[in-house]
Amino acid sequence: MLTHCDFIYAGESTKFQMPFINLAVVPEFGSSCSVPARIGHVRAAELILLGAPFDARRAAELGLVTQVVSDKDVLARATETAGKLAAKPAAALQASKRLMKQPFREQIKAAMKAENEEFSAQVRSEDAKEALTAFLESASLTSRGTSNLQRPHRRDRQHRVNAGNEMTMDKPMNVCVLVGSLRKASLNGMLANALISLAPSSMKLDIVEIGQLPLFNEDLETAAPPAPWTAFRQRVKAADAVLFVTPEYNRSVPAVLKNALDVGSRPYGSSVWDRKPGAIVSGSPGAIGAFGANHHLRQSLVFLNVPTMQQPEAYVSHADKLFDEQGKLVSDGTRKFLQAFMQAFANWVETVRSQGQRI
């Protein structure tokens, strides 16, 4: 996605990587074409074929970013540029951008089509399954990405008391599961059931229905709001964490899931989401596993102050090939992937709670 942006500002501590081959897959989003076109074949080969991390200064040298600024100034610099662009004549600006992109448009389309075909073939390989499993297991044993929080000692995890709310093997953490699909044979419903069955014993997960919630309308927010709203809010508020399982509709989350977020966020000042640890799993029959919905949902969760697990990520592709007629998971590789994800989520919830983020 980086090479499709017009302006890219990187903080001094930013790290980049093109890990496709390390994960036994191939480049995506046209990067097999756009990266060599931008920095040349030899340099692109170093980044893509070796897959080693590189810092912001190296990215600037290669021409992959516009400018490197201090970490604290990234947003201000991007906002400044956005303001300058907004002040330009819109029609001329848009036409100029089209002209700049035009020579490469068909090449990028062809590259994306070829990449999708290769990705679909590679992601099913034993190499990919092993690589993804190893990645998830590694991530679950660390402190989630760039966080400097330390993983609690086993005894601490099993016997910790937080704000009077004890989480032990006798009293597993209470997790709400919200599924963004309503149809009876929903692939994401099957995915949610698989996640529940693969969760560690320290978690108790229940699917909370959201299809019955009336569409949010502030006129209904009276002293006696709709009963389904009240029941839903009470259920989520009582939970220790929430797991979102969603398909992608038009590059976004389904309306039913967005409505649940809105209902739970009100009345103002009484959001049930505030500081509630969360995680997202997205699934689709396509090759990118509802990537757009996954990240669009993350935007809302940032505003709602839901500490959402960043790593490992879960984009479950080709979900229509993963379940039998009874809705049971039949892919061993996916089973290992999801089991590792759920263990990482359990660790994440404990980490958030241990840092004094009262639920």
266 and 206 within one domain: yes
**Residue 323 CA to chain centroid, in angstroms?**
22
pLDDT at 85: 93
State the Cα–Cα distance between residues 308 and 278, nearest whole angstrom. 5
Burial class (CB in 10 A: 0-12, 13-18, 19+), 252: middle
pLDDT score for 225: 93
pLDDT confidence tier of residue 24, bands split at 50, 70 and 90: confident
The answer to whether residue 359 is domain-embedded is no
295 and 334 assigned to the same domain: yes
C-alpha distances in angstroms, 273 versus 33, 161, 257, 263?
A: 42, 21, 14, 10
pLDDT at 50 over 90: yes
Residue 138's pLDDT is 55
The answer on pLDDT for 203 being more than 90 is yes
Question: Domain check: are 192 and 281 in the same one?
Answer: yes
Say whether both 210 and 142 belong to one domain: yes
pLDDT tens, position by position, 231-257: 999 999 999 999 999 999 999 999 999
Is 17 within the bounds of a domain?
A: yes
Among residues 258, 218, 265, which one has the least CA distance to residue 226? Answer: 218
Q: How many residues does the chain have?
A: 359
pLDDT at position 121, please?
77
pLDDT higher than threshold 60 for residue 197? yes
Relative to beta strand 9-11, strand 67-69 is: parallel
Residue 89 domain-assigned? yes
CATH number for the domain including 289?
A: 3.40.50.360
% of the chain exceeding 70 in pLDDT: 87
Q: Contact, 327 vs 333, CB < 8 A?
A: no
Distance CA 278, CA 328 (A): 25
User: What is the C-alpha separation between 288 and 313, in angstroms, rounded?
Assistant: 12
What pLDDT digit, counting tens, does each position of 105-147 carry? 888 888 888 887 887 777 667 787 677 666 655 544 443 333 3
Strand runs (DSSP E) across 237-299, as ranges? 241-246, 278-283
Residue 164 lies in a domain: yes
When divided into structural domains, the chain yields a total of 2
**Which pLDDT score is estimated for 104?**
82
Instruction: Answer yes or no: do 183 and 59 share one domain.
Output: no
pLDDT above 90 for 217: yes
Which residue range forms the structural domain that includes residue 64?
A: 2-121
The per-residue pLDDT for 265 is: 95
Please indicate, yes or no, whether residues 107 and 135 belong to a single structural domain of this protein: no
The torsion angle over the Cα atoms of residues 124, 126, 127 and 131, rounded to 10 degrees, is 90
Kindly report, residue by residue over 57-79, the tens digit of the pLDDT.
999 999 999 999 999 999 999 99
**Those residues with Cβ within 8 angstroms of residue 326's Cβ, 6 or more apart along the chain or in another chain:** none
146 located within any domain: yes
Q: Checking DSSP bridges between strand 161-162 and strand 165-166, what pairing results, if any?
A: antiparallel
pLDDT in tens, 88-106: 999 999 999 899 888 888 8
The domain boundary residue, chosen from 94, 121, 148: 121
Are residue 334 and residue 204 in the same domain, yes or no? Answer: yes
DSSP string of 66-87, one letter each residue:
SEEE-GGGHHHHHHHHHHHHHT
Amino acid at 227: A
Answer yes or no: do 295 and 240 share one domain.
yes
pLDDT score, position 132: 67
Q: Does the structure show a pLDDT above 60 at 269?
A: yes
**Confidence at residue 352, expressed as pLDDT on a 0 to 100 scale:** 87
- What CA–CA distance (Å, rounded) separates 353 from 169? 16
pLDDT band at 161; cut points 50, 70, 90: very low
Q: Give the pair of three-digit tokens for residue 38.
A: 């931008």
**pLDDT over threshold 70, residue 49:** yes
Which residue from 228, 244, 214 is spatially nearest to 306, judged by alpha carbons? 244
What's the rounded Cα separation, in Å, for the pair 278 and 267?
21
Structure tokens at 2: 């980086």
Whether the pLDDT of residue 204 is over 90: the answer is yes
**pLDDT level of residue 3 (50, 70, 90 thresholds):** confident
Give percent above pLDDT 90 in the chain. 61
Residue for token digits 């076109």? Answer: 37
Domain shared by 100 and 235, yes or no: no
Please, which residues have CB within 8 angstroms of residue 265's CB and are 6 or more apart in sequence?
Answer: 271, 272, 273, 304
What DSSP element (H or E) covers 264? Answer: helix 255-264
The CATH number linked to 51 is 3.90.226.10
pLDDT of residue 137: 55
